[in-house]
Structures are given as C-alpha cells and as structure tokens.
Amino acid sequence: MSASKSSLAALTLGAIGVVYGDIGTSVLYAVKEVFGSGHVPFTTDNIYGILSIFFWTLTVIISLKYVTLVLRADNHGEGGLVAMLALASQSVKDKPELRRWLLGVGIFGTCLFYGDGVITPAISVLSAVEGLEVVSPNFKKAVIPLTLVILFGLFLVQKHGTAGIGKFFGPITLVWFGVIALLGLSHIASHPEILWAISPHYALGFMFQHPGITFIILGAVVLCVTGGEALYADMGHFGKKPIRLAWFSIVMPSLTLNYFGQGALLLANPAAVKNPFYMMAPDWALIPLVVLATAATVIASQALITGAFSVTKQVIQLGYLPRLQVQHTSVKDTGQIYMPFVNWGLFVLIVLAVVMFRSSSNLAAAYGIAVTMDMLITTVLTFFVIRYSWKYPLLLCIGATGFFFVVDLAFFASNLLKLLEGGWFPLLIGGAIFMLMMTWKQGRALLNNSLRQDALDLPSFLEAVFVSPPTRVDGTAVFLTAEPGTVPNAMLHNLKHNKVLHANNLFVTVRSHEVPWIGMDKRTEIESLGHDCWQVIVNYGFKNDPDLPKALQQIKGRGCDLDAMTTSYFLSRDIVIPTIGSGMAQWREKLFAQMHHNASGAAAFLNLPNNAVVELGSKIEI
C-alpha cells in the first residue's frame, strides 16, 4: 500500500513538472495582456469581472473539458492529438469518406502543435527575462540577447536527454507553484473581498455589460489555459490519476490564488498594470523571482520540445513524414528520444519569433490561433469517439461536446482578430508542415501504385525460378517489400547480378497501425511459400520502436530458424523521378522526390546491423 502511495506521489510530482509547467508560467503574462490591451476600462467592477472570467475559463476548459472528459478518451493508455485521431478514425472505419475527412482535420491539428511549439518557449522565456526591466530599466537592452542565450543552451542540451535533469523538473515547478500561491496570498490578505470574484455572476455581468470588449479580450484570456493540450498528451507518461490529483490539489489552487492576488494588487495600485506579476514581489525578491521564473519557463519549454520529438516520431510511424534520425537518450525509457532535425528546426523558428516580435506582448498577439484551433479539433474528435466508439446516445454526445465546441469556437473567433498582428505566424508554420505531410502521404501512395503496377506476383515468380533454380548459398536473406505478395526489386537485382539464392528467404513487409502499441504476441505473421521461402508481416503501433532483427526472432520455431550471424538484409534504395501526368502538381512531385532522397535510411530506422545490409538502387517514375 505504502509503495503504491509513494509511486502515486512520484508520478504526481513528475506531472507537476512536465504536464503543468506551461500553464503554470501563464501567470507571467495573462493578466498583463488583458488589462494592457487598452480595451478594458480600469474599474473595480471590471477587475472583478476579468478575474471571474479567468477562474471560469480554467474551470470549464481545463477542469471540465480536459481533466474530466478528454482524459477518459485514452487509446490503450495513451493520450494526445495523434492518439485521439487514431481512436476517432478507428471508430468510423466503416465510413471511409468521414474517416478521410477526420484524418485530414486531425493531422492539421497535429501540424498546429508545431506552431504552438515555436510560440510557447519564445513567449515563456521572454516574459520571464522581462522581469529584469522591473528591477531596472537599464536591463531592457539585455532582454532579447539573454533570452536567445537561454534558449540556445536549452536546445544544446537536448542531445544528452532529459533523464539527468528531469528529476529536478517536478521539485522546481512545485516550488514555483508554492511561490506564486504565496505571492497571491500576500496581496489577497490586504483585499480579501477580491475572493468574491469566484462567483460566476461577476463574469456574466461583465459579459452582458461589455459584449464587444469580452469578445476582443478572449484572445488574451486564452493565455491562462496555455498548455491544456499537454495535459492530455502526457497521459501515457503519468496516467490519469496523478494528472487529476496534481491539477486539483496544487495547480488550480496556486493559479487561482496568484490571479486573484494580481487583481488585489491592481485594486491597490492601478499603475502595476504594466507588469502585475513581478510588481507583486517585494524589491528584495525580484532577482530570485526572475531566476525561478526563468527556470520554470525553461522546464515548460522542455516539456514542449520533448512533445515535439514524440509527436514527430508518431507521425512518421503513421506514414505522414519521411524517416528522420532518432537517437535514444535513455537505456531505461524508450520514450526518451532526440531528433536533431526537429530540435534545430524548432530552435531556428523560435529565434525567428523572438527577433521578429521582440516582446512577450507582441508574441501574445501571435499566440492563441493555433492553440484554440487545436482545442476545437480535440472537441470535434472527442464527439466521434464518444458517439461511434463508446456508443453513447446522440443527444448526450451533442450535449457533452456541443457546450465545449461553442466555448472553443468563441475563443478561436476572438483570436482571429489577431491574425494580422502575428496570428499568421503559427498558422504559416502549421500550414507549411501540413503541406509537407500531405505531399509525403500522397507521394508514398503514388510511389506504391507505381511499384504495384510494375511488380511481379511473388508465388508465380518463385514457381518459375524453381523450375531451374539458381545456386543456393548458406544463410538467410531478408528482402523488404512494401506490398506482401510482390517481388522486391532488391531480389530481382540480386538474382540478376549475383545469380544466387540464399538457403532461406524471407519477404518482409513492415506495417504501422493506428494504435499506440502492438504487443510481441501480435508482432509477426508468417506464411510459408515453399522452397524455404516465407512471407512475413511485422506489425508496429505508432509508439512502438521498430526493431526488425528483434521482431524476426519471434518466428523461430515456426518453420524458419534464423541465425543472426548468417542473416543479410537486402533493401531497395529507390530514386524517385517526377514526371508530368496524373499525379501531384509538378512542384509537389519534385518536393516529394527531395524528401524521399533526404529521408534517413530504412536500415537505421529498423535497427538493422550495419555489417549485414545490402542496398540495391532502382529508379521509379511517379
């Protein structure tokens, strides 16, 4: 019993560090942006109204939508937009048109995650370092260079993995939540009446009196729920119970106290509106608070970077991106990975964001569109899961998700007002990545069609070969083929040039499925083709780590015995030739050909031993 309690405590502490780092640092800029926008007249009633809107936004979007409803939609224990997408598409697999539409919407939502992944570290670290301006205006010139140095250091250490520093994430973030709660309490103590703002009638009163202003400021209010998607995405790492426990016991109370403390400060000192978070602190605590805030924002950014690696790996497994180099940074936790291309690609875009927007207020204008569209997409996918997978009554499904849809739509519509001020930036990033993903997916389909049209039927081919068999040599040949039952190009080239056939021949097709995990008991399917030849299908979920040699050990004792020392892997290294015709637009075919050329090799992706791989090239027109 005590062991399970300590395990729950450890997971809850971990969740506080990783899951809630992002939402925990939103206190740095959310209130400042709402009152600093100039749209809200500075009155006591309005302060009460805005605080009430903040509290009920946290309650409705995080407590009710994510913690209560969305966390229930787990895909074999996994969460996040990719897991939800897989769940939704599986639930409507008998409706191909709807399934195709859902896949498109879900993948676009995943692309927006990268836009969010650029803005969030930039706005978080920049807003923390801007605390130096409160210490002394002379520090203003140092804010951007210092922000860039901190971000560079963060991305530089990614290749070493987060295992070493990860154990400090929870405690530091816990200290952060304790400090922001105490800061809030210290000001609430002098104006305890501010706690009446918890009543929803203040929020409703403000909305009815100022409907136009309410609509405009929702784009800034949404900053208080930054990181809501991370709560669902990290479910597989921590589980539902620790995430819920952390939210209701630590995170929600600390955020509420701090926001209400900022409100109490504004009642006493309206001039504090220029940076209410830092002006809550006494002068002696400012420098330590800037250091702690910077540490908290770095941790929040770390969680997002790790998420970008995980999401990219999952999307590659689902077939929407070419293979990229993946390095495992932990011998114990296979989920801890590092992807150099994603890491430095993100860093370049974040530097661009910091240099272009130059302040957290300007970045706040860019923030919101991507995250609210993601929230909207999550709500839509949740409807299809609870209706078609859980089989709940239609009216209940509409009622459960319709309310959240209206709330998400209001936030999204408000953020559209910021489109020209900077909202275009994350949308441009998401749109560009979506175009790359769709080009890769359609290009792969064209490539496979081209291969299928030219392919020979494997059983018939083997029958013809064994009428007058070539010389057999010792060992096992593993030929990788995209389609079961077709002759791999690598085999044709091997027969043509080497004029030999191995004693054992495996024709292996690797398949990725729309489920997170496939166990070893369902990893391989094997069928004998006669003459010591076998057709093998190897199955992986989008969170499994492909390891073909390990998977093939599963077929021992099923008619085919492999010896790793005498096994060779034959791969086709296809060169794609774009042609004018009925495929994609010419520029997209050229883009696909370039992506195909630059994709990391199948050998590394499938964890094949370097000294046992033979690559044979061929040209294919699409």
Split the chain (622 residues) into runs of 10 and give each run's mean pLDDT. 70 87 92 85 91 97 92 82 88 90 92 89 90 86 93 89 72 96 96 95 95 93 86 82 94 97 94 92 93 92 85 88 83 72 94 92 86 92 92 92 95 92 92 95 88 84 89 91 87 86 92 86 90 92 89 82 87 82 85 88 87 81 77
Half-sphere exposure of 302 (CA within 13 A, CB side): 29
CA angle 380/385/390 to nearest 5° reads: 145
Strand residue runs (E) in 469-607: 471-480, 500-513, 524-530, 533-541, 567-577
Per-residue confidence (pLDDT) for residue 329, from 0 to 100: 75
Per-residue confidence (pLDDT) for residue 117, from 0 to 100: 85
Closest by CA position to 447, among listed 335, 341, 596, 305:
596
> Does residue 227 contact residue 255 with C-beta atoms inside 8 Å?
no
R_g (Cα) of the chain, nearest Å? 27
Domain boundaries, given as residue ranges, for the chain: 2-442, 455-621
280 residue type, one letter? M
CA distance linking residue 222 with residue 298, whole number of Å? 21
Per-residue confidence (pLDDT) for residue 330, from 0 to 100: 67
Q: Which residues pair with 75 in a beta bridge?
A: 78
Query: H/E element holding 620?
Result: strand 613-621
**CATH 1.20.1740.10 describes domain 2-442:** yes
Closest by CA position to 311, among listed 331, 334, 339:
339
Q: Which residues pair with 511 in a beta bridge?
A: 539
Per-residue confidence (pLDDT) for residue 3, from 0 to 100: 53
Per-residue confidence (pLDDT) for residue 569, from 0 to 100: 93
CA of 254: how far to CAs of 27, 114, 283, 362, 445, in Å?
A: 10, 28, 22, 27, 50
Q: Which residues pair with 337 in a beta bridge?
A: 328
> Does residue 183 contact residue 175 with C-beta atoms inside 8 Å?
no
Confidence (pTM): 0.87
Per-residue confidence (pLDDT) for residue 332, from 0 to 100: 61
CA of 327: how far to CAs of 311, 319, 341, in Å?
A: 15, 19, 11
